[in-house]
Amino acid sequence: MSPLLDVEDLQVELITGAEIVRAVDGVSFTVRSGETVTLIGESGSGKSTTAMGILGLLPAGLAVLSGSARFCLPGGRAVDVVADPDAVRTVRGHGVSLVPQDPMTALSPVHPIGRQLGDALRLRQPGLSRAQVREHGVALLDQVHIPRAGTQWDAYPHQLSGGMLQRVLIAIALAGEPALLVADEPTSALDVTVQAGILDLLMELQERTGIGILLITHDLGVARLVSDRIHVMRHGRFVESGEVEQVVDAPREEYTRDLLAAVPALGEWDDAERNETEASA
Amino acid sequence: MLRYLGLRIGQGLLTVFLTVSTVFLLVRLAPGDPAAAYAGPTATTEDLERVRAQFGLDQPLLAQYGVFLRNLVQGDLGTSYSFQAPALDVVLGRLPYTTTLATSAILLTTVVAVPLGVWMARRADTMRELAGNMVTIAGQSMPDFWSGIMLLTLFAVAVPILPASGFATWGGLVLPTVTIAILQVALISRLVRREMVAALGTPYLSVARSRGFGEGTLIWRYAMANSAIPVLTALGTRFAAMLNGVVVVEVVFSWPGVGSLVVRALETRDYPLIQATVLVTAALAIGVQLLVDLAYPLLDPRVRLGKVASS
Amino acid sequence: MSAVLPSVERPSAVTPALRAAAPAVRRARTLRIKTWIGLVCTAVVVLPVVMASLLPLPGPDTQDLSARRLPPLTDGHLFGTDQLGRDLLSRVLHGGQVSLLVGLLAVLTSGLIGLALGALAGYLGGWVDGVASRLAEAQMALPLLMMLLLVVALFGSSVPVITAVIPLAQWPEVFRLTRSLVLVERGKPYIDAARVLGLHRITILYRHVLPNVVRPVSLVVLLLLAQAVLLESALSYLGAGPERPFATWGRIVSDGQDYVTTSWWIATLPGLVIVLLVVGVNLLGDGLRDRSRRPRTSGGKA
């Protein structure tokens, strides 16, 4: 079976007035059903730009894509969104869904969440009545473990916490019945305690429905938990790629090693070192 | 919420009070005898005496203020000698003409400015938008007396399809409305453009686009709903400003509203009438503005419902 | 799976056409055009007005009853003559001197008042801020044109009166902007550093805070000039404008209104001059403001 997403030699250039920035400089990867592929890197490495570029969500006229990014989703024909940019509309919300980065700004503040979820449902199933939409929607909210989904249906985004909002966003993403989920730093804006819940939810969904997940993150802990395969990204290129155990436990490249070592570790107070730094200040 | 309401109403009353007091002070600070100002150039000595007694003009300033306020509360704003009638009645009689004009102008503005603003926002920074931009700046830069005269000449005199003055028929409403609307459309369409461009650049719009919504839905449902609140409040503010800003247009088209009334009152030095006009229009404008300010929290769910944390 | 791919120089896919169509490039271009047009329009009006006395024109009040209501471009009258045979161009230029003077003085006054009060309110806070802000709010709510007419009716329509009264309408806007900018500056670390060094509050205010604030404020003041010119011309049209030393634009238009079907130029041309000036100032102010607001180019984000 062909992969849900097949990216080959993707290049994204951004026209910012005076200069042209090559944010993504030739990356290739695939995502298949049932697996989680992670792009990991620091800020500015190009990982989010890759995901947004593939989905056609970079500001119009700003980004120029080259290479290829082929979607092969069930129920639709294969589509290369770089060769045929307009075709991205046939896959967005119809097999590929986005889970965005900051839940607090990802929803329209003046519409209730039920309305926004309902709108997404109606896109897939235009014939539904209001009652049916609400029924399906509340069921989705239940699926993502939102308590008292019936009352939350009429709530506004600002009335919910970050964790709850992210669950709502996942529910809206699911309304499109996706085969592929693109999760752009889904937990970066959340508290650590809430992060685990979201990641659990994503894994549960993957087990249950077999969706593929393209995960973007800068957090090694997150990557380690949920990924099958990892691509380490730096300055728009992949520095290292492989099965997650191999990359994390036995990194081949120096950059990967530095990245792994950069996680602060709890250790003993080293008084000698601290006194030294104080004296030289 | 209630506290906010109370605060705004208090501020509104304070401003009306301030306007009232300013008018009071101005008439008394100006050179010349206030009694002569109130009684008019054809006053006799008896008239002057009467006016002095009515307004307490021979008493100390603070006492005068008291008399002034007392009269005000009773609805007595003096007698217009050029109309030979209570000033307040004269003003209230002409008020409906001004409000009709302002209403039709705001409706025309809304119908034209919103689509225009959206059009400009969708083509932001293109040459076509630059042209649109220049047109709106031109609209903003035309003195209303001039555009009024130009329209009058073109459509009422050179090509006599519309009445030139007055309110004899509904057709007479057209030219003054269009004249006022030129400036308002310019201002509102630029606001709509700004708000739309901002809304189109927000994360939630990008996310909505990823769901598969068409451009139409994105613009008219999501972006518009978010832009609506500042635009609606701006329209309300413009309406309030129009109530005392259409003076010039009323003069050009001989429109029988409070604007032309004030000008005529100034020409005849009819101070009770001037005072009454300023007070009534100020109070009305401030009142409308207050309603607009109060409406804002009702429209924006973030303010209306406050922040409720739930887990 | 794979190790690092060898570094390959990939060709850029950005064609000149794509580049020209990019929003950032387009924005820069329209900005340039806008600013230049604004400058030209403003100069076309301001320069002749300023040099009015030096130009070979008849005096603005010189009547010539044998040359009444001549159309433009006859007998050396570029704008024609009015109903008393006075050269229209001369009247417009000389009247413009008064209009511009009034406008400039008015916005300078409102600029200074707004700047001073806004800086004090933003920097000192407390009751100073409270009182000043309430005053500004109340001022903005007052019916502008009517109050101006009332003041002029009471105190006369001379240049000093009008120049004094227009700022009353405009200072709140300058005040609000200055205050919010100063509040932003006050939160920055360099202010704390200056305090620690022992500098007096007022010194910090005018030596460090104000220079950062003056530029955006002066742009607003430029746009207020346009508003002041329109306001003055409206007053003048209604007969409440300055008569000495020269009649200003609004008055010339109102004088010409009766003849608009037979001698359209008397009412039309002065108005066009106003439009040209105000358009120029607005475009210029807009262009300058957008230029200082342009986002800095940032490197590609993740």
Q: What pLDDT is stored for residue A117 in this prediction?
A: 94
Work out the angle between the directed axes of helices C264-293 and C23-50 (0-180°, nearest 10).
140
CA distance A60 to chain C (A): 8
The pLDDT value given to residue C9: 73
Across the interface, do C301 and A59 touch by the CB < 8 Å criterion? no
> Is A109 touching B (CB cutoff 8 A)?
yes
User: A75: which DSSP letter?
Assistant: T
Q: What is the pLDDT of residues C188-205, one digit of tens each?
A: 888 888 888 887 777 777
Average pLDDT over residues C94-98: 91
Task: Output the pLDDT for position B310.
Answer: 38
Please give the ipTM for the structure prediction.
0.86
CB contact under 8 A, A59 and C297: no
Q: Which of A231-235, A254-258, B114-118 has the lowest mean pLDDT?
A: A254-258
Q: Which residues of A touch B203 (CB under 8 A)?
A: 100-102, 105-106
**Are the beta carbons of B26 and C150 separated by less than 8 Å?**
yes
Of B23, B143, B153, Cβ closest to residue C261: B153
pLDDT exceeds cutoff 70 at A172: yes
CB B180 within 8 A of CB B246: yes
For C218, residues 6+ apart whose C-beta sits below 8 A from its C-beta are C111
Give the highest mean pLDDT range of A109-123, B282-296, C82-96.
Answer: A109-123
Residue B201 confidence (pLDDT) above 60:
yes
Of A17, A44, A243, the CB nearest to C25: A17
Shortest Cα distance from C286 to chain A (angstroms)?
20
Query: Which whole number is the average pLDDT over A53-64?
Result: 89
Residue whose C-alpha is closest to residue A136's, from A158, A118, A119, A115: A118
**Distance separating alpha carbons of residues C80 and C73, to the nearest angstrom:** 6
User: What does the pLDDT average to over B91-104?
Assistant: 92
Q: Do C19 and A229 touch (CB under 8 A)?
A: no
- Does the beta-carbon distance from A15 to C3 stay under 8 Å? no
Quick: pLDDT tens for C141-178. 677 787 788 888 778 888 888 888 888 888 988 998 88
Least-confidence region, from A204-218, B296-310, C247-261: B296-310
Cβ contact (<8 Å) for B208 and A108?
A: yes
Task: List Cβ neighbours of A212 (8 Å cut-off, separation of 6 or more).
Answer: A3, A4, A5, A31, A32, A33, A34, A35, A36, A37, A179, A180, A181
Which of C98, C102, C70 lies closest to C84, judged by CA?
Answer: C70
Query: Quick one: pLDDT at residue C46?
Result: 93
User: What distance in Å separates the CA atoms of residue A86 and residue C43, rounded to the nearest whole number?
Assistant: 47
Provide the shortest C-alpha distance from residue C37 to chain A (in Å).
22
Report the residue from A93, A101, A116 with minimal CB separation from B212: A93
Look at residue A37 and give its three-state secondary structure. Answer: strand
Taking a C-beta distance cutoff of 8 angstroms, is the pair A14, A23 a contact? Answer: yes
Query: What is the spatial distance between Cα B211 and Cα A96, in angstroms, rounded to a whole number?
Result: 9
